[in-house]
A and B are shown apart, each in its own frame.
Chain A
Amino acid sequence: MLKLPPNFQNYSEARQQGFMRMKELKEKGKKVVGVFCTYTPTEMILAAGAVPVSLCGMSDEPIPFAEKSLPKNLCPLIKSSYGFAVSDTCPFFYFSDMILAETTCDGKKKMYELLGELKYTHVMQLPPGRSGSLALESWYGEMLRLKDVLCRQLETDFSDEDLRNAIRLKNRERKAMLDFFELGRLKPSPVSGYEINTVIDANGFIFDTEEKIAILENRTAELLQEYANNCQGRPSRPRILITGCPTGGVREKIIRQIEELDADIVGFENCCGPRAQKELVDENKDPYLALAEKYLGINCSVMSPNPGRIEALEEMLEDYQVDGVIEVVLQACHTFAIESERVKRFVTQEKHLPYLCLETDYSQTDTGQINTRISAFLEILT
């Protein structure tokens, strides 16, 4: 069974409390920027004295609203995000002074055009690959342009020193997140994947970065103690690495289910894991160039080619002592669905580990089918 700490707060509770926190911030005159993706340079938002809040849709409830104008056969994350905005059921979208997005996948960038009709949306032009001759240069230009946009929209200004301070703060948060993720390297793991996934997403609803860092550091220290006291030397359940699309919207259906079926999720090679946190922003360079370099290096499947993802996967398979890989592909996510072929080949042929790919959406209609596939996969491992 899944083990959770006694004071565990689930995602929807954290989200609810986030509403109140945000309302207080707004009443104090704080500006809020709604964001969607790990490519967003949140340091710039902090430097501008505003707070970033994630608007990624993780529920199937608003999808029918989105399907009034978006195609049915589209990624549930995109439909959910747009559905929340268009049905005016997301307080965070409501409180946002502006939206900051990027041209990541085709579905998202076209959705942002419609989103822009509801609220001011600035879309950064992310290069489709990092190896092109102008990739870094154009992305650096987007960073400079973003500064102007933020200052104009939020009626503020910030210095290079403000930005450097924000970079240093975010780097500390990254290190705290990494230390938390890397608890999964311990065998047996003292923390469930469900908790890792929930804590990281719930932290998105805390708007004071120092407070986030403190929460992560405390929990990491507690779990290290837990490992020393109760886990070390004990047998381990099969150790699963999750890869592919973001898993916030399938947390109950897949993440919880895997652990209820007697395996441990030890790591996430997706944007809910260390992917976007591993590389820090260089604190000694021109801050705009440093940000451009850091964010262009994220190994999302929207990048072509994307060899860094396979390298990151290889490192995690070893460091986290993984027994099997489960890839989660959200319905109609073309980039991850196609890249799954390379991931499968790498995991099975080069690493000789079992691999399972689950294609799903946010609905509960395939719960039985998902359960059978996960159970059968775990029966191979035991």
Chain B
Amino acid sequence: MNYVGIDIGSTAAKTLVLDGERVAAAFTLPTSWSSRETAARIKAKLLELGFDVESRTVKTIATGYGRVAVDYADKVLTEITCHGRGGSYLFPEDCVIIDVGGQDTKVITVENGAVARFLMNDKCSAGTGKFLEIMANRLEVDLDELFLLAQSGTPIPISSMCTVFAESEVISQIGVGKSKPDLAAGIVESVVTRVALLAQRHDIRGKCILTGGLSHIPYFRERLASKLQREIYTHELGKYAGALGAALIAAEKCN
């Protein structure tokens, strides 16, 4: 039996295949304008790798914003439940998982292997991946370059309240000739502040784990650790935490 977890986020679609306890495959595709089309591309890619989602020996759970578009899934679950399951598998003890997603940031408390409670950002995209993407566009750099620039800059204070306000602030700072590294540092700091605030509202107990795409950026992890004044743990499969959780639940529930 193979268990497939598909996590279609607003920016990236992550897929992970389990063969028993072993990760048999893991890949990421960009989420296109249509989640349905993304789901179809994942299906084709899986088939290429030798996993036929239509066969009886493959069980699939879909999660993330595009979860309902995966019409071949055996079950759909929210990314909260899947991140909770995936994160607690990577760090098997009671913990708090912070996931900065493309459009939602979540803080999830896991107790006894299950989600006990969670908190998500409000309607505004401040403190999410979307914020970083918009600001990087303004500076005409990609996300990796943004973090690289930030490391050599001194942060300029930028509002962490509202993406639209923050964007106008950045534009006026560009206007008065502030340097790119300082602006980049300010932008990262704004997201770190907002994410830390959400985590602090949630009352962190136990190990603090960062998942999602940003968990692979050491500079972001360091800034968040410093802001929260506690160690932040990451894992090489961090980006796949949601997909891994979905696959693990498929193994438990879809037989």
Contact = CB atoms under 8 A, between A and B. Distances in A.
A39 B191 CA distance: 43
B123 A379 contact: no
A379 B81 contact: yes
A5 to B, nearest CB: 29
B117 A379 contact: no
Given A376-B118, A380-B116, A369 B123 contact: yes
Contact of B80 (A348, A368, A376): A376
B116 A372 contact: no
Contacts of A369: 103-104, 120, 123
A362 B120 CA distance: 20
A219 interface: no
Interface residues of A, number: 15
Interface string B144-180: 0000000000000000000000000000000000000
Given A359-B123, A369-B123, A376 B117 contact: no
A373 interface: yes
Nearest to B83: A376
Contact of A379 (B65, B77, B104, B122): B77
A256 B118 CA distance: 22
A366 B103 CA distance: 12
Contact of B115 (A355, A368, A372, A376): A376
Nearest to B116: A380
A348 B103 CA distance: 27
Contacts of A209: none
B57 interface: no
A376 B78 contact: yes
B99 interface: no
A91 interface: no
A380 B114 CA distance: 8
B123 A372 contact: no
Contacts of B116: 380
What is the predominant secondary structure among interface residues of chain A facing chain B?
helix
A366 B121 CA distance: 12
A346 B106 CA distance: 23
Category for how many chain B residues contact A: 10 to 19
Contact of A354 (B80, B117, B120): B117
Contacts of B104: 369, 372
B226 to A, nearest CB: 27
Interface in B102-118: 103-104, 114-118
A304 interface: no
A123 to B, nearest CB: 32
Interface string A338-382: 000000000010000011000110000110110011011001100
B7 interface: no
Nearest to A368: B65
B104 to A, nearest CB: 7
A336 to B, nearest CB: 15
A354 B80 CA distance: 15
Contacts of B123: 359-360, 365-366, 369
Contacts of A355: 117
Interface string B60-80: 000001000000000001111
B65 A376 contact: no
B89 to A, nearest CB: 17
Interface of B: 65, 77-81, 103-104, 114-118, 120, 122-123
List the 8 closest pairs (A to B, CB-CB), nearest first. Answer: A376-B80, A376-B78, A379-B81, A375-B78, A366-B123, A380-B115, A372-B78, A359-B122
8 contacts: A348-B117, A359-B122, A360-B123, A369-B103, A372-B78, A372-B80, A376-B118, A379-B77
Given A376-B79, A380-B116, 16 more contacts: A360-B123, A365-B123, A366-B123, A369-B104, A372-B65, A372-B120, A373-B120, A376-B78, A376-B118, A379-B77, A379-B80, A379-B81, A379-B115, A380-B81, A380-B114, A380-B115
